[in-house]
Structures are given as structure tokens and as C-alpha cells.
Amino acid sequence: MSREYRAILVLAIVAILQSPTVAQIKGSPHDLSALSAGDACSFCHTPHSTSLQTPGWSRQLSTAVYKIYQSSSLDARPGQPTGASKMCLSCHDGTVALTHTGRSGPSGTYITPGEANLGTDLSDDHPISFVYSDSLSAKDPQIRPPATLPQELALDRSGELQCTTCHTAHDNRYGAFLVMSNQRSAMCTSCHDLDGWVGSAHENALVLVSGTHDQYLRGSTYATVADNGCLCCHRPHSAGGDERLLHFEKSEDNCLSCHDGTVAATDIRSQILRSSRHNVAAYSDIHDLKELPTASARHVECVDCHNPHAMQSATNRPPVIPGSMQKVTGVTASGSMTQQAQYEYEVCFKCHADSPSRIGSTITRQITQTNVRLEFDPSAPSFHPVVSPGVNKHVPSLISPKTVASVIYCTDCHNSSTESGPRGPHGSDYFPLLAFNYETSDFTSESEFAYELCYRCHSRNSILADESFPEHREHLDQEIPCSACHDAHGISSVQGTTTNNSHLINFDTAIVSRDPSTERLEYVDQGVLRGECYLSCHGKNHSPEGY
Ligand code: HEC
Ligand code: HEC
Ligand code: HEC
Ligand code: HEC
Ligand code: HEC
Ligand code: HEC
Ligand code: HEC
Ligand code: HEC
Ligand code: HEC
Ligand code: HEC
Ligand code: HEC
């Protein structure tokens, strides 16, 4: 270092020591003057610096090799810490004594184990020491262009984001030495422009964060969900789940910590404990934000159906996607991936359609199909009207306002069994995740309750009065369930025909078998309200029986 340069430095440091910074550090967690003789600045600065890192820097830097943050959605390429971050880490990685400056040796007090000690594993901390450039924001439209950042959030001379972009060592007026207030996520949203965040349920929730939540929002001075914002679910350091910096390692815990009837009004935790459920607790470390439904192992998490940044409370009309599922990925009726599902069923199709890890059928049918997309396809010989209005123009049992032009949600049938409880296919007392009871075993005596699910939309009186199939009542009296004849979804056009599989006819082979004389198991549609059956059921052979 040249003589002149050193002289300028000394002058600069003298100026520093007289600046208002002194007053701001006094009494803050960075006032280490109690540790040894010296002023509040000397742990970090000295007029006689031997370090060439930064003018006036007094501390020994750490030689640690760090584990750095990574995730499948990260576009930035952070490397080993550089620049000012190395200065912060010279105390905060816990490997260098707080007093290890140019003046004093390596031994002494280290930073206390705990939250302020980030350790050398930075994979659970907000990424640092990468170039935050226009090309990064071009790659990731949810990252604002660096030129639009407020002046408080300064990148270093190399355009890198450092600890010192978010923090200042000197001024603790916003808490956690932040450079600006993060109330209502003001700091996070200065850089992150999350699609759907503004106006979302969480951005807006003026609900108090209380009880156990204080524990993980430790250090927060804010009272409401809205004020804590991103930090309701994320933490910039020592995150539980490293990837995406969430409080908890298990994905669903990041939601259930509030949606258990404590902070949020809806208790989803008790829903997912029911006998039939989307068992989010059974899976961990499988879901990935960037996953392809056709390539991921079987799993389900809250965030498979909800975008944590964009959910709203509004309901919608089928098949349009409800508010709580805004901006979730999906698979369309034609089987292609979409970044933003427009219809509710597109979300379900991610896992229950072409996915190789989809679950099997609950009923043994003449025609087996586990790809629900094919079952509900508008080209199918018959189907419940989920993707498009149905094919039958004569369905006298429909209860107003439902008509043959109606479209329904998967969740009209698959939903919570507590009618007053939170909506959604989280859990139910009725297998498989049905909103209402639906008996499928042979020898079920007909009642309002036995087929409650169907009777929500189809009038029981109409069915029992034989307004369409003239033998409905007879079969129901014989204790034959609806499911012996009807498939609740539809029959794919790949397998079924309009002659044999109209009216959702797809026999349950545990109840119905081949007619011994004709060797046939078949329904034959013969036009409006006419048809015949070849089969054997309850010991009676139809060889055939017509109506
Ligand atoms: C806990 C460590 C620490 C303490 C204590 C500390 N500083 Fe700093 N200071 C830093 C770091 C780190 C930088 C470099 C910031 C950067 O590069 O963005 C810095 C930079 C500076 C700068 C350059 C301008 C700026 O803000 O970047 C001044 C002036 C300064 N410090 C003054 C002081 C004074 C005066 C004191 C004592 C009252 C003091 N500092 C105490 C860590 C500290
Ligand atoms: C000389 C060592 C030293 C350096 C260098 C240092 N810190 Fe600290 N810092 C501490 C100590 C000690 C504490 C108090 C820890 C505790 O409470 O256990 C602390 C506390 C903090 C806190 C918590 C404040 C609070 O309100 O609880 C933050 C945030 C922080 N430091 C950030 C930084 C950043 C950013 C840098 C670099 C610009 C930095 N520190 C540099 C020693 C240092
Ligand atoms: C993107 C912004 C950002 C960056 C970069 C960042 N921090 Fe933080 N840091 C925060 C916020 C926000 C908090 C307050 C967290 C809270 O209130 O829960 C915080 C809190 C802390 C704390 C207090 C302990 C804790 O876990 O709450 C320390 C210590 C700290 N930061 C040090 C650092 C160091 C050292 C670096 C660089 C290696 C760094 N920070 C980089 C945003 C950042
Ligand atoms: C100064 C700008 C800045 C601030 C402030 C900031 N971030 Fe970031 N953050 C970034 C950039 C840039 C990335 C890298 C994005 C990428 O590569 O896709 C990032 C990455 C992340 C990631 C990892 C993303 C992934 O795909 O793995 C999370 C999570 C995150 N930030 C959350 C936060 C939270 C929460 C806050 C507020 C406490 C915050 N950030 C504040 C700029 C910022
Ligand atoms: C309700 C909880 C919750 C809130 C509030 C929240 N996040 Fe997230 N965030 C998550 C979860 C969960 C993921 C991971 C989603 C996944 O794995 O599918 C995530 C992912 C991310 C990612 C990584 C990928 C991406 O591009 O979507 C970033 C960046 C991020 N959040 C930043 C933020 C910021 C900034 C805020 C505040 C403006 C915020 N989050 C608010 C829960 C939340
Ligand atoms: C810090 C507490 C908290 C966390 C964590 C949290 N939420 Fe929420 N959530 C709320 C509050 C408060 C509302 C507003 C409605 C209310 O008061 O219940 C809300 C609203 C919602 C809504 C809109 C529908 C409604 O009830 O109004 C959905 C859907 C939702 N949250 C799902 C999630 C999911 C999924 C996660 C995890 C990724 C999550 N939440 C994490 C507190 C939280
Ligand atoms: C991310 C994948 C995924 C998505 C999206 C998904 N499911 Fe599932 N679903 C599963 C898995 C896995 C199971 C098996 C039960 C379990 O392990 O939790 C299941 C089980 C079911 C069951 C049977 C429950 C039982 O008790 O056997 C029904 C019914 C169901 N899902 C309906 C739906 C509906 C309706 C939607 C759309 C609103 C949907 N699913 C979206 C993965 C998914
Ligand atoms: C009209 C009511 C109804 C609608 C609408 C409906 N389901 Fe079902 N679903 C059922 C019934 C009843 C069962 C039980 C099996 C049966 O009766 O065939 C079932 C079974 C299932 C199963 C368990 C596996 C199986 O095939 O048995 C899954 C998964 C499922 N449905 C997903 C969906 C999805 C996804 C949608 C929307 C695309 C949907 N369902 C729409 C009534 C319905
Ligand atoms: C298989 C998809 C799926 C999964 C998994 C899922 N949800 Fe839902 N959730 C839904 C649907 C569909 C709705 C109802 C939307 C509507 O009708 O408005 C819903 C509604 C909600 C609501 C609003 C309830 C109300 O009555 O306002 C909350 C809160 C919620 N979910 C939270 C969660 C949480 C927390 C998890 C994880 C434990 C989770 N969800 C898992 C699909 C899902
Ligand atoms: C949410 C309302 C709803 C529920 C619940 C419901 N359906 Fe339907 N169903 C409809 C509508 C709407 C149509 C008219 C479709 C059409 O025009 O083809 C229909 C049509 C039918 C048809 C005639 C299909 C055809 O192509 O001829 C049968 C059979 C049927 N439903 C049986 C059932 C059974 C069995 C159940 C109970 C598992 C049930 N439905 C539950 C709404 C519902
Ligand atoms: C023995 C077989 C069988 C059983 C059991 C059965 N159905 Fe049907 N159902 C049919 C046939 C065949 C048709 C078609 C009649 C036609 O249009 O030619 C039909 C038509 C229907 C239709 C469409 C026309 C209408 O009435 O609106 C509905 C809805 C329906 N059934 C509901 C049910 C329900 C609900 C149950 C159980 C409570 C049930 N079915 C039990 C054979 C059966």
C-alpha cells in the first residue's frame, strides 16, 4: 500500500470515527466494546489496516469453504462468498474469534451459537455473492430489473448482491440491521415481483399472528399476517427446508402452522386426519416446484394445488378455477402441461391423468381406466359433465338449477364431508374423498343416505319413480347399488362405445358377471329409454332382458 493511500485512509477513518455512525452502533448488538478495550468501531475498522480487502478493515477473514444455496428454480449462480459478505462472515460464520483483528490474536470469544451464527453451511440462507444483472431478471420475470431497486438496496461495485445489500453493519433502526423496513414485505418485494402476490389472501390478511407463531416469527415486531408477509412462510437464514428458505422442512408444516384453527380461520389439519384424504403428511422431499407431472414420483402437497403467493378467497363457477387455486400449474384436457390452470380439473389431471404414478381404481369394473382425463374426455361415450356439458339431453332426475347444460367440478363430488367445514378435497369420512356418502357394496338397502352423493343432484323421487330407466326401483329394491351399473366418472372412447357404454354404464364385475348361456356381459343401447342387458346378477340371468 502506498504511503499516500494510507494517509488518505487514516483521514477517512478519522472522519468515520466522528460520524453519526458512532451513535447508531452504541448499544446495538454490534457494539462489542464490552469484549475488550477499544471503541465500537475497532472490531471491524482500524486506521492501521493490514487487510487489503477493504480500506480500514481490521478483521481476520475466514478461510472456510462454504456450502452455498441451491435450488431447481434458482437462475442466479452464487459462488463462494465475496466482497463485503466475507467481512460479515468473519464473525457470523463462527470460525473466527470476534476479537481477531490486526491488533489481537486468533483466540477469544466466538459468536454465540444460535440464530446469529450462520455457520459455514449457507445453503439455508438467502443466496449472496452473485451478479444481480438485467439478464438475471430477463431469465426470471419474477425478479425486478436491478435498475428499479430503491437506493437503500445497494449492489456492490461488481453488481453483486451481498449481505450488505439487505443489511448495514451500523444502523439497527429497522431491527436486524436491515437497510430498510420490511413491513408488509416492502424489502422483499423491492426485488421479488411475485406473480399474483399483490391482492392475494396472505398479502392482505389483517389477522393476528399469535401463540406458537411468535416462536417461528421470532424477532418480528409485526402483529399481522399481512405485515409479516413473506416471513410468515420464509426465513432468510437458518431455514428449516433449505430449498426456497421455508420455516419448516416438511412442506405442509409451512401451511398447517396457521391453518390448524389458530391463526387462519380454516382448520385444514383436522381435515387431513380423516380416513380418506390427500395425505400430504405421508410424503416429504418429493415435490419440486419445477417438477413435470409426467415424471415425478407419487406424492401430494398443499402447494401442488395451491400457489402460496397467489391464492385468493373468491369462489367461482365450474369449471373455472377457484380463487384459492389461482396460478397453479396443470394438465389440460388435451393432456399438455400448462403453467396456469384455467379450470379446476386441470390441477387434478396433474396426478390423476397421464401421470405414471397415479393411483388405481377402487371398483373392479368391466372397463378399467385410471386416467381420469380419458374418462371425462368430451369424446367419451358418456361422462359426468366436468370438462364439457354431457351427451345425454334427457336426464329427468336433475334437480334445478342443474340442467343437461350444466358443468360440475371434481370437487362437487370430492370434497370435505363436513359441509360447514373448510371447502376442498383435503379429507373426508367417505371413501374415496367424497363430499357425501355413497355406498358401493352389494346388498345395500336403498335410502336417502346410502346414495346421498347422487341425490344431491339427481332427485331420489325421480329415480325411484322410474322416470328414465323403468327398472331403477326394481333393482334398488333388490339391494343393488348404483355403482353395480354406473361408473361415476365416464368411460373412455378408447375402450367404450356409445352402444355399450352410454348412460355411464360400466358394470362392477364383483357384482355382475357374464350371462352363462350367451357368455356375454353387455349393455346394448337401443335408443331413447330403450335398451337390453346380457349378464348375470344376484343369481338372475339376463339372456337378454330389455326395457
Ligand atoms: C460489526 C462490524 C462493523 C462495525 C462494528 C463497524 N463497521 Fe463500519 N463497516 C463495516 C463493514 C462490513 C463495512 C463495509 C460495507 C460495504 O462494503 O458495503 C463498513 C463500512 C464503513 C464505512 C464506509 C461507508 C459505508 O457505510 O459503507 C464507514 C464510514 C464506516 N464503516 C464507519 C464505521 C464507524 C464510524 C464505526 C464505529 C462507530 C463502524 N463503522 C463500525 C462493518 C462495521
Ligand atoms: C466483529 C464481529 C461482527 C461482524 C464483523 C459482524 N457482526 Fe453482526 N453481530 C455480531 C455479534 C456479536 C452479534 C450479536 C449476536 C447475538 O446476539 O448472539 C451480531 C448481530 C447481528 C445481527 C442481529 C441483530 C439483531 O437485532 O439481533 C445482524 C442482522 C448482523 N449481526 C448482521 C451483520 C452483517 C450483515 C454484517 C456485515 C455487514 C455483520 N453483522 C458483521 C458480530 C459481528
Ligand atoms: C435478501 C436480504 C438478505 C440478505 C442478502 C442477508 N440477510 Fe440477513 N436477514 C435478512 C432479514 C430480512 C432478516 C430478519 C429476519 C427475521 O426478522 O426473521 C435477517 C436477519 C439476519 C440475522 C439475525 C438472525 C436471524 O436469523 O434472524 C443475521 C445474523 C443476519 N441476517 C446476517 C446476515 C449475513 C451475515 C448475511 C450475508 C452472509 C445476510 N444476513 C444476508 C435479510 C437478508
Ligand atoms: C436486493 C434484492 C433482493 C431482496 C431484498 C430479496 N431478495 Fe430474494 N432473491 C433475490 C435474487 C436476485 C434471487 C435469485 C433469484 C433467482 O436466481 O431466480 C433471490 C432468491 C430468493 C429465494 C430463492 C429462490 C429459488 O428459486 O430458490 C428466495 C426463497 C428468496 N429470494 C426470498 C426472499 C425473501 C423472503 C426476501 C425478503 C426477506 C428476499 N428474498 C429479499 C433478490 C432479493
Ligand atoms: C403462505 C406461505 C408463503 C408466503 C406468504 C410466501 N411464500 Fe414464497 N414460497 C412458499 C412456498 C411453500 C414455496 C415453494 C413452493 C413449491 O415448492 O412449490 C415458495 C417459493 C418461493 C420462491 C421460489 C420460487 C418462485 O419463483 O416462486 C421465491 C423466490 C419466494 N417464494 C419468495 C417469496 C417472497 C418474496 C414472498 C413475499 C412477497 C413470499 N415468497 C411469500 C411459501 C410462501
Ligand atoms: C402465518 C399464518 C399462515 C400461514 C403460514 C399460511 N396461511 Fe394461508 N391464510 C392465512 C390467513 C390469515 C388467511 C386469510 C383467511 C383467514 O383469516 O383464514 C389465509 C388464506 C389462505 C387461503 C385462501 C382461502 C381462505 O381461507 O381465505 C388459502 C387457500 C390458504 N391460505 C392456503 C395456505 C397454504 C397452502 C399455505 C402454505 C403454503 C398457507 N396458507 C400458509 C394464514 C396463513
Ligand atoms: C400432486 C398430485 C395430486 C393432485 C394435484 C391431486 N391428487 Fe388426488 N391423490 C393424489 C395421491 C398421491 C392420492 C393417494 C392418496 C394419498 O396418498 O394421499 C390421491 C388420492 C385421491 C383420491 C382418493 C382418495 C382415497 O381415499 O383413496 C381422490 C378422490 C382424489 N385424489 C381426487 C383429487 C381431485 C378431485 C383433485 C383435484 C382437485 C386431486 N385429487 C388432485 C395426488 C394428487
Ligand atoms: C359425479 C361425482 C364425481 C365426479 C364429478 C368426480 N368423481 Fe371421482 N369418484 C367418484 C366416485 C363415486 C368414486 C368412487 C369410484 C366409483 O364409484 O367409480 C370416484 C373415484 C375417484 C378416484 C379414486 C380412484 C378411482 O378411480 O376409483 C379418483 C382419483 C377420482 N375419483 C378423481 C376424480 C377427479 C380428478 C375428478 C375430476 C376430473 C373426479 N374424480 C370427478 C365421483 C366423482
Ligand atoms: C388435491 C388438491 C389440494 C390439496 C393437496 C390441498 N388443497 Fe386446499 N383446497 C383445494 C381445493 C379444490 C379447495 C376449494 C376451492 C374452492 O372451492 O374454493 C381448497 C381450499 C382450501 C382452503 C380454503 C378453504 C375455505 O373453505 O375457504 C384452504 C385454507 C386450503 N385449501 C389450504 C390447504 C392446505 C393448508 C393444504 C395442505 C395441508 C391444502 N389446502 C391441500 C385443493 C387442495
Ligand atoms: C354435482 C351434481 C351431480 C352429482 C353429485 C351426480 N351427478 Fe349425475 N349428472 C349430473 C349432471 C349435470 C348430469 C347431466 C349430464 C348430461 O347431460 O349428460 C348427470 C348425468 C348423469 C347420468 C346420465 C349420463 C348419460 O350420459 O346418460 C347418470 C347415469 C348419472 N348422472 C349418475 C349419477 C350417479 C350414479 C351419481 C352418484 C354417484 C351422480 N350421477 C352424481 C350431475 C351430478
Ligand atoms: C341395474 C342397473 C342400474 C342401477 C342399479 C342404477 N341405474 Fe341408473 N340407469 C341405468 C340405465 C340402464 C340407465 C339408462 C336409461 C336410458 O336412458 O335408457 C340409467 C339412467 C340413469 C340416469 C339418467 C337419467 C335420469 O334418470 O335422470 C341417472 C341420473 C341414474 N341412472 C342414476 C342412478 C342412481 C342415482 C342410481 C342408484 C341410486 C342408479 N341410477 C342405479 C341402470 C341402473
Cα(236) to ligand 3 centroid in Å equals 6
What pLDDT does 440 receive? 98
- Residue 198, Ramachandran bin (φ over 0: left; ψ between -120 and 50: alpha; else beta): beta
Query: What local confidence, expressed as pLDDT, does residue 105 receive?
Result: 80
Percent of the chain with pLDDT over 90: 82
- Ligand 6 pocket, Cβ-based, cut-off 6 angstroms: 201-202, 205, 207, 209, 213, 225, 232-233, 254-255, 257-259, 263-266, 302-303, 306, 308, 311, 313, 324
Cα(244) to centroid(ligand 5), Å: 7
Q: Nearest CA to 325 among 424, 189, 229?
A: 424
Question: Are 256 and 269 spatial neighbours (Cβ–Cβ below 8 Å)?
Answer: yes
What's the pLDDT at 241? 81
Ligand 7 pocket member 351 (CB < 6 A): yes
Pocket of ligand 5 (CB under 6 A): 73, 142, 185, 188-189, 192, 194, 197, 202, 229-230, 232-234, 244, 246, 254, 287, 289, 303, 308-309
b/e code 14-24 from CB counts within 10 Å (16+ = b): eeeeeeebeeb
* Residue-level pLDDT at 340: 97
- Are 132 and 76 in contact, with CB atoms under 8 Å apart? yes
* Residue % of the chain over a pLDDT of 70: 93
Ligand closest to 362 (CA) is: 8
Contact at 8 Å (CB) between 387 and 528? no
Nearest CA residue ID for atom 14, ligand 3:
176
143 CB within 6 A, ligand 4: yes
Q: Is 484 in the pocket of ligand 11 (CB under 6 A)?
A: yes
The answer to whether the CB of 167 is under 6 A from ligand 2 is yes
Q: How far, in Å, is the centroid of ligand 1 from the Cα of 22?
A: 10
419: left (phi over 0), alpha (psi -120 to 50) or beta: alpha
**Considering the entire predicted model, what is its pTM?**
0.96
The answer to whether residues 411 and 305 touch, using CB atoms and an 8 Å cutoff, is no
User: What are the pocket residues of ligand 3 if the criterion is a CB atom closer than 6 Å to any ligand atom?
Assistant: 85, 88-89, 92, 115-116, 118, 126, 128, 163, 165-167, 176, 178, 182, 219-220, 231, 235-238
How far is ligand 11, taken at its centre, from the CA of residue 524, in Å? 14
The number of the ligand 9 atom at minimal distance from the alpha carbon of 265 is 29
Ligand 2, atom 8, lies closest to the CA of: 30
Match 392482505 to its residue by C-alpha cell. 204
CA of 142 to the centre of ligand 4 (A): 10
CA of 472 to the centre of ligand 11 (A): 6
Ligand 6 centre to CA of 419 (Å) is: 20
State the Cα angle at 472 between 470 and 474, rounded to 5°.
95
pLDDT the model gives residue 213: 55
Gap from CA of 489 to ligand 7 centroid (Å): 15
Model confidence pLDDT, tens digit, residues 405-433: 999 999 999 999 998 889 999 999 999 99
Q: Using 70 as the pLDDT threshold, list the residues of the chain that sit under it.
A: 1-20, 37-38, 48-55, 211-220
Give the number of other CB atoms < 10 A from CB of residue 349. Answer: 28
Q: Taking the chain, what is the end-to-end CA distance rounded to the nearest angstrom?
A: 104
Contacts of 484 (CB under 8 A, 6+ apart): 442, 475, 507, 508, 511, 512, 537
Contact 336/378 with Cβ under 8 angstroms? no
